[in-house]
Amino acid sequence: MYAQCPDCLTVFSMDAELLAQARGHVVCGHCQVEFDALLSLSSQLPPEPFQYLPSRENSGRLPRADAAVYRPRPEQVFAPASTPAAENGDFSQLVFSPRFAREAKSSAGRRWPWLVACLVLLLLLCAQLAWAKRDVLIADATAGSWLRQACTGLGCRLPLVQDVHRLRLLARDVQAHPSVPGALLISATVRNDASFDQPWPVVSVTLSDVDGKRIAMRRLQPAEYLGDSAALERGLAAGGNAALVLEVEDPGNKAVAFEIGFE
């Protein structure tokens, strides 16, 4: 900002803080005349050549201030201008709330529904992945234990997971069927070494001759060797034993060995 001495016409660069402290009255540094700088105050110099800065007389009408850059919140308390803190230049007690801080707070308030929606979608995605990998999770020692405990508390039941590699054949025997001519009665005891319940396996019976050549084979579905539908639905309990009784056709005297497998 610029102001002009009315006596010697010297133009000076003015500082707003100095003008505010002196209420616009300054002393010319050239001719030492005191003058009101507000009467000739200008934001920029007019194009040269110029002699006088345009003067401003008091119009008697107060200008309206509309371009607000800051407004305190209602709960903020400001120290009066006449207090000792203001007179001594100590503004540490004043509380300011910049406009960008209020806008950030308002934006955070509008953002939380999106955060909740994203969290719900993330949980749904995790649930879909867990369902797709349920067999792996149930078979895992740690995750399967947590899932079984959670299901016990909720009153639900985990789906059966099959792992025939954890089924162990403890005993087996074959003999002629006591009541059906031309048939063999095979009994076997199987144990589930897994930490989770398994569905009943498909049992394969292979008969071979003295040279080890296969002469007969049969695959038995669980419904063929289990007569209890409830036991079929429950599956083979973790760590439990089960006795299986299988009926197969007798291939004759050539069959001297047999083998039982699980699928």
Count other Cβ atoms within 10 Å, centred on residue 198.
22
Which of 220, 244, 229, 246 shows the shortest CA–CA distance to 168?
Answer: 244
Work out the average pLDDT over 15-27: 82
Q: b/e per residue, 23-48, with b = 16+ CB within 10 A?
A: ebebebeeeeeebebebbbbeeeeee
> What topology does CATH give the domain 164-262?
Immunoglobulin-like (2.60.40)
- Give the pLDDT of residue 252: 75
What order of strands is seen across the sheet that includes strand 167-176?
A: 167-176, 183-192, 241-249
Which of 169, 235, 253 shows the shortest CA–CA distance to 203?
Answer: 169
In sequence order, which residues have a C-beta less than 8 Å from that of residue 123 and are 6 or more positions away? none
By the 8 A CB rule, do 95 and 76 touch? yes
Question: How many residues does the structure list for the chain?
Answer: 263
Q: Dmax of the chain from CA atoms?
A: 141
Give the model confidence (pLDDT) of 35-59 as tens digits: 888 888 887 777 777 777 777 766 6
Residue 89 per-residue DSSP state: T
Average pLDDT, the chain: 76
Residue 131 has pLDDT above 50, yes or no: yes
Q: Is the pTM of this model over 0.85?
A: no
- Give the pLDDT of residue 96: 46
Backbone angles phi and psi of 201, in degrees to 5: -80, 165
Give the model confidence (pLDDT) of 237-252 as tens digits: 888 999 888 888 888 7
Q: Domain coordinates of the chain in residue numbers?
A: 1-56, 107-159, 164-262
By the 8 A CB rule, do 207 and 255 touch? yes
By the 8 A CB rule, do 54 and 75 touch? no
Task: State how far the Cα of 210 lies from the Cα of 258, in Å rounded to an integer.
Answer: 11
Tell me the range of 33-37, 139-143, 188-192, 256-260 where mean pLDDT is highest. 188-192
- 103 to each of 100, 108, 113, 156, how far by Cα in Å? 5, 9, 17, 49
Query: What sections of 88-219 are H helices per DSSP?
Result: 99-132, 134-139, 141-154
User: How would residue 91 be classed by pLDDT, with cut points 50, 70 and 90?
Assistant: very low
Q: Tokens 């003295």 identify what position?
A: 210
Task: State how far the Cα of 203 lies from the Cα of 167, in Å rounded to an integer.
Answer: 11
